[in-house]
A and B are shown apart, each in its own frame.
Chain A
Amino acid sequence: EAAVTQSPRNKVAVTGGKVTLSCNQTNNHNNMYWYRQDTGHGLRLIHYSYGAGSTEKGDIPDGYKASRPSQENFSLILELATPSQTSVYFCASGPDWEDTQYFGPGTRLLVL
């Protein structure tokens, strides 16, 4: 089974601060994704990547940047965190668009 890990698992940040969420996958998947999950909205795609060096905007990219320095790692960066970014963030990876996405355990972010 695909192994996707996220760090940190929990994070408290202050408004205006910089937050970096990290994701690592050990299955050599090309595609990686960042979602946020909020009550009443379901999962929403923030950024995704086709492979090392690529990042693409998802449905709600505003306020977020992404970085894919290697096949294994995909980071989500909040340069100036706001309380509206309080959420649970999930990273996922998959071999291809049509294939199963494997999810990490999530990061719970609270922005005060």
Chain B
Amino acid sequence: QQKVQQSPESLTVSEGAMASLNCTFSDGTSDNFRWYRQHSGKGLEMLVSIFSDGEKEEGRFTAHLNRASLHVSLHIREPQPSDSAVYLCAVSHNVGDNSKLIWGLGTSLVVNP
């Protein structure tokens, strides 16, 4: 079964400095890769999904996928204190004709003013 690991567990950056989060997975045949954000006590908000090797940008959030390296990253440009949250990586896993998401444990990001 697909295994998803995120690093680092926690990350502190200053406002305006690039934040980079990592996600590794065990099965490179997955179809899609998603990054979600969860503010404390809230539900999850999807930030970006990526299906092909390379880069996908959604506003200040950019995902990089390299299937050969079993790695997908999230880069947050000009992070703000309001970006402080837990960031979750989710990787699709095929089950018969359908697929489900396998989730990482998250990276806790703190952005200091």
Closest B residue to A92 by beta carbon equals B44
For the complex, give the distance between the alpha carbons of A98 and B99 in Å: 7
| Neighbour of A97 across the interface among B49, B88, B99, B104, CB < 8 A | B99
Q: Which residues of A contact B106 (CB under 8 A)?
A: 42
A-B contact count (CB 8 A): 45
In the complex the two chains form, is B103's CB within 8 Å of A100's CB? Answer: no
Which of chain B's residues 18-62 have a Cβ closer than 8 Å to chain A? 31-32, 34, 36, 41-46, 49
Which of chain A's residues 13-69 have a Cβ closer than 8 Å to chain B? 40-45, 48, 58-59
Q: Which residues of B contact A43 (CB under 8 A)?
A: 88, 90, 101, 103
Closest A residue to B100 by beta carbon equals A45
Q: Which residues of A contact B34 (CB under 8 A)?
A: 100
For the complex, give the distance between the alpha carbons of A92 and B90 in Å: 14
Q: Closest Cβ of chain B: how far from A107's Cβ, in Å? A: 10
| Neighbour of A100 across the interface among B49, B99, B100, CB < 8 A | B49
B105 contacts the other chain (CB 8 A): yes
Which of chain A's residues 76-112 have a Cβ closer than 8 Å to chain B? 90, 92, 97-98, 100-106
In the complex the two chains form, is B42's CB within 8 Å of A42's CB? Answer: no
In the complex the two chains form, is A101's CB within 8 Å of B105's CB? Answer: no
Q: Which residues of B contact A102 (CB under 8 A)?
A: 46
In the complex the two chains form, is A100's CB within 8 Å of B92's CB? Answer: no
| Neighbour of A101 across the interface among B42, B98, B101, B104, CB < 8 A | B101
Q: Closest Cβ of chain A: how far from B62's Cβ, in Å? A: 18
Using CB atoms and an 8 Å cutoff, list the residues of chain A in contact with chain B. 4, 40-45, 48, 58-59, 90, 92, 97-98, 100-106
10 cross-chain pairs, A with B, having the tightest CB-CB distances, nearest first? A103-B43, A103-B44, A43-B103, A42-B103, A105-B43, A97-B98, A42-B105, A100-B46, A97-B99, A104-B43
